[in-house]
Structure 1
Amino acid sequence: MDFNRTVLVTGGSGFIGSHLVCSLVNRHPDWRIINLDNLDYCCSPRSLESVEDRANYTFIRGDVCNSRLVNHIFNTENIDVIFHLAAKTHVEASFETPSTFQRVNIDGTKVLLGAAHQAQHQPQRFIYVSTDEVYGASLDEVFDESSPVRPSNPYSATKAAAEYLVRSYWDKYKFPIIITRSNNIYGPRQYTEKVIPRFLTLLQMNKKCTIQGTLPKSRHFLFVDDAVNAFLLVLKKGVVGEIYNVGTNCEIPIIQLARELIKMVKNVPDSELNDWLEFVPDRPRVDLRYPVRCEKLQQLGWRAEVSWAEGIRQTVEWYQDNPHFWSDATEDQGPIRNKFENAANKCATSA
């Protein structure tokens, strides 16, 4: 079958990536969607069961830092669009193993950019999915795309450094890059280290929600479907060389979030909500909030369409219906359809 466009998604078996891949496969049967993912602990092939047998979907198990494999993909597959989502994202872990975050988030981006730029078939778009955390914390300031970048932890520092790499290819070569910076994205299939699935998993185990520290932290929560729609709109209408915030007005204090989830899952009266809270030591550095403006994206026609009430309802129901999804994930890594398995293995052993 001939396809009109070939799209490479790195990290396509992760939470956001799997939702993006499924949307691309279903919306564009005339596009070929290639998912490059090394199936780290926070990824599961089960997230893509609904599309794994589709003719326009191909999975490649491999490391974005493997330059031979990445070059092989770009030299043989005529990639038109890249959505680069592959990254280490857990803030606490970034303090413990910063070199791992540097390797994946910075070096992996460098490998991908180099292969894409040098490919004989030149990609039309390279969309780098970044984070609002590159702005650093704010009490009063609302960040727009021109705000200074002031990352405050190893994770956000590596994402900011990767952004500079991406922009350098635009500045020097006019390579057609676009950067997005998103608020906290939530929804079904998110790994349990993130705050919403962590609270839900603890509650399902009849354990208390653990609140880090006593400072009044809050986050802006964006449902994953709205984030995917933003990425696809940026592909269609975004201006090359630009940065787009993907934001929401839905700001919720973390302690309020915990109480809301406790009420939904445990159905206890308000007087008993605090009985399900446990305060634990904070991480080494904490940002209280990340408010962003997203007028640039809204001018392209994007609006967040899923309300908090609807998004959190869908999310809670999914975790209730799939209580063993992540506990089973480590035992469910195969068999995986992988057209490139031999080539990937050969490249990996040669790297």
Structure 2
Amino acid sequence: MRRFMLMILMVSVLSGCWDLKQLEHAIYVTGLGIDYKDDKMHIYIRSLPLENVGKSEGGSGKKQDAPVWIGHGVGDSFDSATDNIYFTSQQRISWSHIGHIVFTEDALKRDRVIDDVVDVLNRFAETRSAIWLYGTQSEVDELFNSKPILDLSPYYAKENNPNNVYKQFSIAKPKSLRQYLIERYEPGKMAEFPVLNTNQNQWSKREENHPIQEWGGLMIMDKARFKGAYSIKDIKGLRWIEKSTKRAPLYLYKDESVYASIVADSPKVNIKPVVKGSNVQFNIEVEVSGTIIENPQKAKVKELEQLSTEKIKKQIRNTYLKGLENQADIYDLGYRLYKKKPKEFKRLKLSQGDWLKEDTIKDIKVGVTLESGGKLKVDRMKKK
């Protein structure tokens, strides 16, 4: 009798493992692509085998060519397009490891597409708000097939870890799903998506071109309205307005040739709205400190500071004018008015129409202080 009871107890304990789902018996989605064409929503999922998602000792990805699998679903909405992928899925699809979402320009131009996607993700229990958002001008499957160098797992590519690159080269501030949800409902606030494209030629492996992701600029949304795509050249002024800028190189020219270069960080920004009747203008003040990186002509510090001041001021103005072409408030001037003078923002009804003008930025003041010459000390006496 005791043996019989012991056998029953053992069977009851072991029975709990019979329905155990193995981790490797799932398709882990690490990237999500959204496109819109032929009046249909097109969804691309990027999946990696489990062994290439896990982090290896020392913090690097797995040292082998990690295979990338791309699924493609089509539907009338985001939910129906994702469900379409289930027809050919060989295992359960896990959405809990999505690291980034990429929207094509056509998708962002389509009314309500981004709201449809965000609404589903915000309701779905598996997805997180710490997902990076991007726009792209490349084909999604081409972008998803590109891989980082050194045979690292695509899971550790720049699209899943943008802050590491942004700290070294601050050109397009990363945007998370959580940040977008906040900006989507803030009066006067626009959402800026970094553009991630495919570069076919800059890197090679064994004398063969190695396609890789590259920054391509910004795409700007005003709520659910597309406000244009802007190249790296177009947005160079934005980094001087972003307080999050960590490292911004500036190349100084004289007689159409490179004269010197500096690198600046952590700009101090103050934007003051000036309201007179039905007219609103803004004064922009920027203070930048930097380091001299290149000075082959042995130019005086004072001259380099003056050249830097003029160029930063010009970049700020040019970026604003580029956004003005599409009424894209690239510096969030309306939001700054709302925060400082909410009654005036409401009275002027800035959120209800196109209000930006060429002279909306009344004045730009820039101050540059070069504190260091790298390994070489800056001789402040040469400024006099």
TM-score, reference length from structure 2 = 0.23
Which structure is richer in relative contact order (CA contacts within 8 A, separation 6 or more)?
A: 1
Structure holding more strand per residue: 2
Larger radius of gyration: 2
